[in-house]
């Protein structure tokens, strides 16, 4: 299975990186976007991804740098890419209402226009393993204020397990979320500065032995951590990075 980091940055464009957006390519099912931050359509074009091959978008939490690209994605599907295939959007409780709010704020009337493709919006309940579009997705609650639950997502598909932390300070829920995952993608904001709502690299490395993932890649790095990459022993994401697992 292949995953490309279309965007690996934080909310502020540190290092000139795009907002969070990962593109998961599967062999037997449609492809998946994991998060779709505000700059994601630019990243999709830059890395020559066909939006119509994406069947599902999974959203970890309701911050603009993680789901603010969806109004652009949906309008592109309707007006530019001429999508006809069904699309599933899945996120935490409150996702549908928040998405409608930002769509109307950014493109008035866009929620009322009839599309030539069906859009299914699913709201994921904490710890409930749900199956759709060839995926089995289990959300775990993180500690990151977004006005709605913020999740880590454990995604099982085609015999592999991928866990994405979303944004969070250290919480014990990360252990079952990432336990023995084939790929664990985790934010690491600062090198060793402990702060609310974000994990620092040092804390993460101290707790990886409890999680025991087969492979870990850190993402969502601040300018401070990007400036200390020579001190990072774990793999670090960058925009355009492709990994197979």
pLDDT tens digit sequence for 212-228: 999 999 999 999 999 99
Asked if residue 112 is part of any domain, the answer here is: yes
Tell me what pLDDT residue 175 has: 98
Tell me what pLDDT residue 129 has: 98
* Domain limits for position 59: 2-237
Tell me what pLDDT residue 70 has: 98
Domain CATH for 48: 3.60.15.10
Asked if residue 11 is part of any domain, the answer here is: yes
b (16+ CB within 10 A) / e for 134-172: ebebbbbbbbbebebbbbbbbbbbeebbbbbbbbbbbbe
Asked if residue 242 is part of any domain, the answer here is: no
Residues of the chain falling short of pLDDT 50 = none
Tell me what pLDDT residue 51 has: 98
Asked if residue 19 is part of any domain, the answer here is: yes
Asked if residue 41 is part of any domain, the answer here is: yes
For the chain, how many structural domains are there in total?
A: 1
Tell me what pLDDT residue 93 has: 98
Tell me what pLDDT residue 121 has: 98
Tokens describing residue 130:
């749900």
pTM value > 0.95: yes
Asked if residue 245 is part of any domain, the answer here is: no
**Which whole-number Å values give the CA distances from 33 to 56, 60, 90, 111, 142, in the listed order?**
6, 11, 10, 21, 20
């Amino acid at each position: 299975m292949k995953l490309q980091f279309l965007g690996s940055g934080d909310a502020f464009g540190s290092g000139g990186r795009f907002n969070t957006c990962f593109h998961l390519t599967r062999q037997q099912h449609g492809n998946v976007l994991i998060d779709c931050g505000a700059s994601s359509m630019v990243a999709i074009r830059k890395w020559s991804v066909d939006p119509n091959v994406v069947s599902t978008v999974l959203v970890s939490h309701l911050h603009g740098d993680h789901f603010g690209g969806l109004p652009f994605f949906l309008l592109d599907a309707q007006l530019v890419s001429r999508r006809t295939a069904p699309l599933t959007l899945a996120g935490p409780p409150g996702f549908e209402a928040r998405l409608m709010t930002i769509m109307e704020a950014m493109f008035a009337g866009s929620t009322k226009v009839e599309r030539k493709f069906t859009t299914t919006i699913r709201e994921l309940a904490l710890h409930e393993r749900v199956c759709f579009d060839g995926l089995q997705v289990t959300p775990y609650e993180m500690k990151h204020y977004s006005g709605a639950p913020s999740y880590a997502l454990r995604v099982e598909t085609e015999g592999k397990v991928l866990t994405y932390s979303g944004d969070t300070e250290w919480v014990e829920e990360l252990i079952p979320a990432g336990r023995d995952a084939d790929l664990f993608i985790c934010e690491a904001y600062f090198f060793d500065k402990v702060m609310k709502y974000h994990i620092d690299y040092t804390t993460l490395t101290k707790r990886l032995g409890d999680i025991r993932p087969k492979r870990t890649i850190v993402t969502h790095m601040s300018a401070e951590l990007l400036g200390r990459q020579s001190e990072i022993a774990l793999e670090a994401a960058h925009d355009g990075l492709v990994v197979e697992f």
